[in-house]
Chain A
Amino acid sequence: LSTDNNKILFHFEGQEIKSYSNFISEIDSALLVLKKSKRKSIIICTIELIQNALKYRCCGNVSLTISKGENIEVNVYNNSDLQQSEKLKRHFDRIEKTGIAKLKEMSRQNLDSPAITGQSGAGNGLIKCILKSEKRMQLLINNINGSKNQINFKINFEYE
């Protein structure tokens, strides 16, 4: 784990967030060394990733670790079926290769496209995380048996 040499600031593991107000305030307290705008960026990315992980997990727990090393590193893990993880990888690869100006334009277009019931953010969650982290976001997928993958989103935030 990349957190081996890092100090863990916050950890969550479970299948639901029982209290978002506690969740937010605990992360905010753990990141007090950072200025408020940076803390808010990390928290909003964390909310996007954890809600996606909870929505698309196929089994087992979702976990979130925020650790402190050279950067602030956020890791979110969930298990997903193969079809879902392939879909996610295609979406991530497409936006990860896209430049920041184009991502902002895509986000605007998604916002202005007709709403689809059952889809919440129209695909803007990952775009937001990539923009907030200035493209320092990775998707790592490991097969854990024939029928499911472990999904790991890793984001690095600079201190300033």
Chain B
Amino acid sequence: MNKIIEASDRTPKICIDTTNSKISFTGVMIPENPIEHFAELNKELADLCKNMSDLTLEFDLEYFNTGSAKYLYEMIKKLAALINLSIVWIYEDDDEDIYETGKEYEKLTGLPFEFVAK
């Protein structure tokens, strides 16, 4: 099953590709309350994980607010408890903020992160 959730003014495009066991987030992520905003997505991702053994999350985010940073961290931790998770973290090569946040997640979660400069 493949599903695309189109980007909005405050939220990223989300591509759920079960064929390749990959979910990608592209764009900006600045909703005022991401925990409430993405509640449905959380349920959907948890259900997806029941039928998969491995999953790659790919993040290519230009801006995200601190609420979204918290949400993403929680989401990564929850999915990592359900499935064999790996992360691809795409950043612009002069974007220290996005890169450092990815490094922080890598350190805190202990998960394999692949950093890709663009």
Residue numbers of A with Cβ under 8 A of B are: 19-21, 24, 35-37, 40-41, 43-44, 47-48, 51, 54-55, 108, 110-112, 115, 117-118, 120-122, 124-125, 128, 132
User: Among the listed A19, A40, A51, A117, which residue makes an inter-chain contact with B97, where contact means beta carbons less than 8 Å apart?
Assistant: A40
Given contacts A20-B10, A35-B94, A108-B104, 14 further A-B contacts (CB under 8 A): A36-B92, A37-B96, A43-B63, A47-B63, A51-B30, A51-B32, A111-B69, A115-B71, A117-B35, A120-B66, A121-B65, A121-B66, A124-B69, A125-B66
Contact B28 A44 (CB under 8 A): no
Residue of B nearest to A124 (CB): B66
Residue of A nearest to B66 (CB): A121
Identify whether the interface residues of A are mostly helix, strand, loop, or mixed.
Answer: helix
Contact A115 B9 (CB under 8 A): no
**Chain A contacts for B36, CB-based, 8 A:** 117-118
**Chain A contacts for B69, CB-based, 8 A:** 111, 121, 124
Number of contacting residues on B, CB 8 A? 25
Cβ of B108 < 8 Å from any Cβ of A?
yes
User: What is the CB-to-nearest-CB distance from B73 to chain A, in angstroms, rounded to a whole number?
Assistant: 5
Contact B35 A120 (CB under 8 A): yes
**Chain A contacts for B73, CB-based, 8 A:** 111-112
The answer to whether residues A128 and B10 also contact, given A112-B108, A120-B32 and a CB cut-off of 8 A, is: no
In the bound complex, what is the Cα–Cα distance between A69 and B33 (angstroms)?
34
Residue of A nearest to B31 (CB): A120
The answer to whether residues A48 and B94 also contact, given A111-B108, A115-B74, A117-B36 and a CB cut-off of 8 A, is: no
The answer to whether residues A120 and B97 also contact, given A108-B108, A111-B108, A112-B73 and a CB cut-off of 8 A, is: no
User: What is the CB-to-nearest-CB distance from B89 to chain A, in angstroms, rounded to a whole number?
Assistant: 16
Q: What are 8 sample pairs from A and B whose C-beta atoms fall under 8 A apart?
A: A21-B28, A37-B96, A40-B63, A51-B30, A51-B65, A112-B108, A117-B35, A120-B66
**Chain B contacts for A47, CB-based, 8 A:** 30, 63, 65
The answer to whether residues A40 and B108 also contact, given A117-B36, A128-B66 and a CB cut-off of 8 A, is: no
